[in-house]
Amino acid sequence: MKYISEFRRSELAQGLLSQIQRQSKTPVRFMEFCGGHTVTIFRYGIRQLLPKTIEMVSGPGCPICVTANADLDKAIALAQVPGVIIATFGDMLRVPGSRSSLQETKAVGGDVRTVYSTMDALKVAEDNPDNSVVFLGIGFETTAPTIAASILQAEEKGLKNYYVLSLHKLCPPVIKALLDWSEVKLHGLICPGHVSAIIGSHPWEFIARDYGIPCVISGFEVLDILQSVSMLVNQVENGKSQVEIAYRRGVRPEGNQQALKLMRQVFEPAPAQWRGMGEVQGSGLKLRKKYQRFDAELAFDIKSGPTSEPAGCICGDILRGVKTPADCQLFGKTCTPQYPVGPCMVSSEGSCSAYYFYGVSLGE
């Protein structure tokens, strides 16, 4: 099995599309939670080809995008502390905070380094014993276990200069919040594939059971998405609501027990701030008491100043699925990938960036 090209086979995709055409009778609105799914949907033009009965809305599943400005300001303030090296995943660099971005801070002398894994960040700490290395813990359940592993390794190695700013977010609690606010009526949810690879399918069951909304866990290729849409339509048309796994090659119902164990050993649930959604109970992760000496928030006196949101930016509404980038006054005018105003235009998985790059309003 080749895993990529085999999941992009044109004739199979066409077959799934006609199957969806045949099945779909009831008008429905499905949300794809994950930014990775949004990108696939736009990259292949899936929205243009689905029957008129199916409306797709994008959800808040982009970890860069949902990071609140106040948290971003903390990261930027830390980057300005003499002797601190910030280690982060690349996308974070360009996201504008209230006054500056990590990229701008770097340009004026802040030591901000892009890493590709937490283990690289540990290496930076080992190589620079006279500096404090702060890893920006941005991400969902997918990245949290690797960050937990880095903390355990730092402890084992006796590293005294490695810290994590834990801005992690958990997916099921925020979906529950979205459903409770019921700003957007949903008839189906495409659940994130990589998050589910860690947490499994069970944590989604409350959505099908308590809210009567069909759920399908999807992979990221075009066939995965079409297969998932087809399974959702099938549930809707047959009056069912359950959690199904379309991404069998990546997800087991029980998830990845080892990763979960690591995550739970180091972190415990905590409230978290989401852009556009405010504080959501139990949707974040903080370091357990035993590992508090790695907590950047406790180790440094972070003075990030007052937080402000960019005027006119509707990233928050877009992340809740209430509005689309097309509704934004700034989109494509003052907010472009070159000069992003909000994070959804910066991140490669942001809705605004996907709309911009893949020309959704093309209508051809």
Partner 1 sequence: MENKILLAHGSGGKLAHELVEKSLVKALANPFLAKLDDSAVIDFSGRLAFTTDSYVVSPIFFPGGDIGKLAVCGTVNDLAMSGARPLYLSLSFIIEEGFSQSELDEVVDSIRKTAGEAGVEIVTGDTKVVHRGSADKLFINTAGVGIIAEGVNISGSNAKAGDKVILSGAIGEHGIAVVSQREGLSFSTNLKSDCAPLGSLVAEMIDACPNIHCLRDPTRGGLATSLNELAKQSMVSIRIEEERIPLREEVLAACEMLGFDPLYVANEGKLVAIVPSKDADRVLKAMRKNRYGKNATIIGEVGAEKPGRVVMKTILGASRIVDMLVGDLLPRIC
* Residue 26 is a binding residue for partner 1 (CB under 8 A): no
Distance of CA 57 to the CA centre of its chain: 15
- Kindly compute the dihedral angle of the four CA atoms of residues 103, 108, 110, 116, in this order, to the nearest 10 degrees: 30
Q: Which two tokens stand for residue 57?
A: 């809305």
Under 8 Å between Cβ of 351 and 324:
yes
Q: Which residue has the tokens 């994590």?
A: 164
Distance separating alpha carbons of residues 7 and 218, to the nearest angstrom = 12
* Residue 64 is a binding residue for partner 1 (CB under 8 A): yes
* Residue 43 is a binding residue for partner 1 (CB under 8 A): yes
If you ran DSSP here, which 8-state letter would residue 309 be given? Answer: P
The minimum distance between CB 245 and partner 1, in angstroms, equals: 19
Site string for partner 1, 187-216 (x = CB under 8 A): -------xx---------------------
* Residue 289 is a binding residue for partner 1 (CB under 8 A): no
Nearer Cβ to partner 1 (171/208): 171
* Residue 36 is a binding residue for partner 1 (CB under 8 A): yes
Distance separating alpha carbons of residues 111 and 295, to the nearest angstrom = 19
The minimum distance between CB 11 and partner 1, in angstroms, equals: 9
* Residue 222 is a binding residue for partner 1 (CB under 8 A): yes
Under 8 Å between Cβ of 200 and 255:
yes
SS3 sequence of 219-247: CCCHHHHHHHHHHHHHHHHCCCCCEEECC
Nearer Cβ to partner 1 (213/335): 335
Which stretch, 178-186, 240-248, 286-294, 336-344, contacts partner 1 (CB under 8 A)?
Answer: 336-344
The minimum distance between CB 60 and partner 1, in angstroms, equals: 13
* Residue 162 is a binding residue for partner 1 (CB under 8 A): no
For the segment 87-146, give every residue that binds partner 1 (CB under 8 A). Answer: 89-91, 93-94, 114-116, 120, 123, 138-140, 142-143
* Residue 182 is a binding residue for partner 1 (CB under 8 A): no
Exposure of 107 in the CB half-sphere (CA atoms within 13 A): 7
Q: Which is nearest to 242 in space by CA: 252, 231, 254, 251?
A: 231
Under 8 Å between Cβ of 123 and 150:
no
Residues that bind partner 1 (CB under 8 A): 2-5, 8-10, 13-14, 17, 35-36, 42-46, 48-49, 63-64, 89-91, 93-94, 114-116, 120, 123, 138-140, 142-143, 194-195, 222, 336-338, 348-349, 356-359, 362, 364
